[in-house]
Amino acid sequence: MAAVIDPRQFDSTACSIARTMGLIGQPWTLLVLRDLFNGVRRFDELADHLGIARNVLTRRLAGLVDDGLVEKVSYREPGQRARHEYRLTQAGWDLRPILLVVMAYGDNHLSGPDGPPLRVEHADCGGEVVVRMECAHGHPLSPTERLRARPGPGARYLTRESALPAH
Protein backbone atom coordinates (compact mmCIF):
# COMPACT_ATOMS: atom_id res chain seq x y z
CA MET A 1 0.00 0.00 0.00
CA ALA A 2 1.34 3.45 -0.92
CA ALA A 3 2.36 5.84 1.84
CA VAL A 4 -0.09 8.57 2.77
CA ILE A 5 0.98 11.90 1.31
CA ASP A 6 1.12 15.18 3.15
CA PRO A 7 -0.85 17.69 1.06
CA ARG A 8 1.27 20.51 2.45
CA GLN A 9 4.13 19.23 0.26
CA PHE A 10 2.30 20.34 -2.88
CA ASP A 11 1.60 23.68 -4.54
CA SER A 12 -2.09 24.25 -3.80
CA THR A 13 -2.52 26.43 -6.90
CA ALA A 14 -2.05 23.30 -9.05
CA CYS A 15 -5.14 21.79 -7.38
CA SER A 16 -8.08 20.83 -9.63
CA ILE A 17 -10.54 21.97 -6.96
CA ALA A 18 -8.90 25.41 -6.80
CA ARG A 19 -8.92 25.70 -10.59
CA THR A 20 -12.59 24.70 -10.82
CA MET A 21 -13.56 27.14 -8.09
CA GLY A 22 -11.80 29.81 -10.13
CA LEU A 23 -14.37 29.10 -12.85
CA ILE A 24 -17.53 28.65 -10.79
CA GLY A 25 -16.79 30.13 -7.37
CA GLN A 26 -18.08 33.65 -7.96
CA PRO A 27 -21.45 34.60 -6.44
CA TRP A 28 -24.31 33.97 -8.87
CA THR A 29 -22.28 31.74 -11.19
CA LEU A 30 -23.81 28.43 -10.08
CA LEU A 31 -27.30 29.94 -10.24
CA VAL A 32 -26.69 31.20 -13.78
CA LEU A 33 -25.46 27.70 -14.69
CA ARG A 34 -28.53 26.16 -13.00
CA ASP A 35 -30.84 28.24 -15.18
CA LEU A 36 -28.86 27.42 -18.32
CA PHE A 37 -29.13 23.69 -17.45
CA ASN A 38 -32.88 24.21 -17.11
CA GLY A 39 -33.19 25.82 -20.54
CA VAL A 40 -33.29 29.52 -19.67
CA ARG A 41 -31.02 30.95 -22.35
CA ARG A 42 -31.87 34.56 -23.07
CA PHE A 43 -30.35 37.44 -21.16
CA ASP A 44 -33.63 39.11 -20.20
CA GLU A 45 -35.14 35.80 -19.06
CA LEU A 46 -32.05 35.00 -16.99
CA ALA A 47 -32.06 38.48 -15.39
CA ASP A 48 -35.78 38.27 -14.57
CA HIS A 49 -35.73 34.70 -13.27
CA LEU A 50 -32.61 35.16 -11.14
CA GLY A 51 -33.44 38.66 -9.92
CA ILE A 52 -29.83 39.57 -10.64
CA ALA A 53 -28.54 43.02 -11.55
CA ARG A 54 -27.97 43.24 -15.29
CA ASN A 55 -24.35 44.39 -14.92
CA VAL A 56 -23.59 41.42 -12.65
CA LEU A 57 -25.24 39.01 -15.09
CA THR A 58 -23.28 40.56 -17.97
CA ARG A 59 -20.00 39.94 -16.10
CA ARG A 60 -20.95 36.38 -15.12
CA LEU A 61 -21.99 35.42 -18.65
CA ALA A 62 -18.87 37.03 -20.16
CA GLY A 63 -16.70 35.06 -17.71
CA LEU A 64 -18.50 31.81 -18.52
CA VAL A 65 -18.02 32.48 -22.24
CA ASP A 66 -14.34 33.39 -21.76
CA ASP A 67 -13.78 30.22 -19.72
CA GLY A 68 -15.38 28.06 -22.43
CA LEU A 69 -18.35 26.89 -20.33
CA VAL A 70 -20.97 28.80 -22.33
CA GLU A 71 -21.23 29.97 -25.92
CA LYS A 72 -23.08 32.99 -27.25
CA VAL A 73 -25.43 32.19 -30.14
CA SER A 74 -27.19 34.82 -32.26
CA TYR A 75 -30.93 34.68 -32.85
CA ARG A 76 -33.46 37.08 -34.36
CA GLU A 77 -37.16 37.29 -33.60
CA PRO A 78 -39.26 38.36 -36.62
CA GLY A 79 -39.10 42.13 -36.96
CA GLN A 80 -36.51 42.50 -34.18
CA ARG A 81 -32.78 43.15 -34.12
CA ALA A 82 -30.34 40.27 -33.72
CA ARG A 83 -29.79 39.25 -30.12
CA HIS A 84 -27.87 36.52 -28.28
CA GLU A 85 -28.75 33.56 -26.20
CA TYR A 86 -26.39 31.50 -24.09
CA ARG A 87 -25.88 27.76 -24.44
CA LEU A 88 -23.74 25.40 -22.44
CA THR A 89 -20.69 23.92 -24.13
CA GLN A 90 -19.62 20.36 -23.37
CA ALA A 91 -17.36 21.74 -20.63
CA GLY A 92 -20.42 23.48 -19.17
CA TRP A 93 -22.55 20.33 -19.34
CA ASP A 94 -19.77 18.46 -17.54
CA LEU A 95 -20.55 20.60 -14.47
CA ARG A 96 -24.07 19.15 -14.15
CA PRO A 97 -23.10 16.56 -11.51
CA ILE A 98 -21.67 19.35 -9.34
CA LEU A 99 -24.99 21.18 -9.37
CA LEU A 100 -26.87 17.94 -8.66
CA VAL A 101 -24.62 17.22 -5.67
CA VAL A 102 -25.08 20.79 -4.36
CA MET A 103 -28.85 20.35 -4.79
CA ALA A 104 -28.81 16.98 -3.00
CA TYR A 105 -26.90 18.52 -0.11
CA GLY A 106 -29.49 21.29 0.14
CA ASP A 107 -32.33 18.75 -0.06
CA ASN A 108 -30.79 16.67 2.75
CA HIS A 109 -29.64 19.45 5.07
CA LEU A 110 -31.47 22.67 4.22
CA SER A 111 -34.99 21.78 3.03
CA GLY A 112 -37.93 23.18 4.91
CA PRO A 113 -40.56 21.06 6.62
CA ASP A 114 -42.35 20.43 3.30
CA GLY A 115 -39.29 18.74 1.82
CA PRO A 116 -37.21 19.46 -1.28
CA PRO A 117 -38.58 22.08 -3.68
CA LEU A 118 -37.64 20.13 -6.81
CA ARG A 119 -37.15 16.55 -7.94
CA VAL A 120 -34.96 15.72 -10.94
CA GLU A 121 -36.07 12.72 -12.98
CA HIS A 122 -34.64 10.82 -15.93
CA ALA A 123 -36.83 11.98 -18.83
CA ASP A 124 -36.85 8.53 -20.48
CA CYS A 125 -38.02 6.43 -17.52
CA GLY A 126 -39.13 8.82 -14.77
CA GLY A 127 -36.60 7.50 -12.25
CA GLU A 128 -35.27 10.04 -9.77
CA VAL A 129 -31.71 11.09 -10.57
CA VAL A 130 -29.16 10.40 -7.84
CA VAL A 131 -25.46 11.13 -7.87
CA ARG A 132 -23.39 8.31 -6.43
CA MET A 133 -19.77 8.10 -5.48
CA GLU A 134 -17.94 4.95 -6.49
CA CYS A 135 -14.45 3.87 -7.43
CA ALA A 136 -13.44 2.92 -10.98
CA HIS A 137 -14.06 -0.75 -10.08
CA GLY A 138 -17.71 -0.03 -9.24
CA HIS A 139 -17.45 -0.19 -5.45
CA PRO A 140 -19.94 2.21 -3.83
CA LEU A 141 -18.34 4.71 -1.44
CA SER A 142 -19.98 6.42 1.50
CA PRO A 143 -19.17 10.09 2.25
CA THR A 144 -17.02 8.96 5.19
CA GLU A 145 -15.22 6.14 3.33
CA ARG A 146 -11.44 6.29 3.65
CA LEU A 147 -9.82 7.60 0.49
CA ARG A 148 -6.15 7.94 -0.40
CA ALA A 149 -4.65 10.73 -2.50
CA ARG A 150 -1.62 10.09 -4.71
CA PRO A 151 0.34 12.66 -6.70
CA GLY A 152 -0.77 12.87 -10.31
CA PRO A 153 1.31 13.83 -13.34
CA GLY A 154 0.45 17.52 -12.86
CA ALA A 155 1.44 17.70 -9.18
CA ARG A 156 3.95 20.36 -8.28
CA TYR A 157 6.01 19.93 -5.14
CA LEU A 158 6.84 22.97 -3.07
CA THR A 159 10.49 23.77 -2.72
CA ARG A 160 11.93 24.09 0.76
CA GLU A 161 12.29 27.86 0.29
CA SER A 162 8.69 28.38 -0.85
CA ALA A 163 7.37 26.30 2.07
CA LEU A 164 9.07 28.47 4.71
CA PRO A 165 6.86 31.10 6.34
CA ALA A 166 7.63 34.73 5.44
CA HIS A 167 9.12 36.91 8.21
Contacts of 121 (CB under 8 A, 6+ apart): 127, 128, 129
Residue 18's DSSP bridge partners are: none
Q: Which helix (H) or strand (E) holds 88?
A: strand 82-88
What does pLDDT average to over the chain?
Answer: 91
Question: Once rounded to an integer, what is the mean pLDDT over residues 101-125?
Answer: 95
Say how far apart CA 110 and CA 118 lie, in whole Å: 13
pLDDT at 58 over 80: yes
Predicted local confidence at residue 14, as pLDDT: 81
The number of helices, as runs of H, and strands, as runs of E, in the chain is 7, 2
Number of other residues whose CB lies within 10 A of the CB of residue 64: 25
pLDDT above 50 (res 1)? no
For the cut 80, the answer to whether the pLDDT of residue 120 exceeds it is: yes
H-state helical runs in 38-95: 43-50, 54-66, 90-93
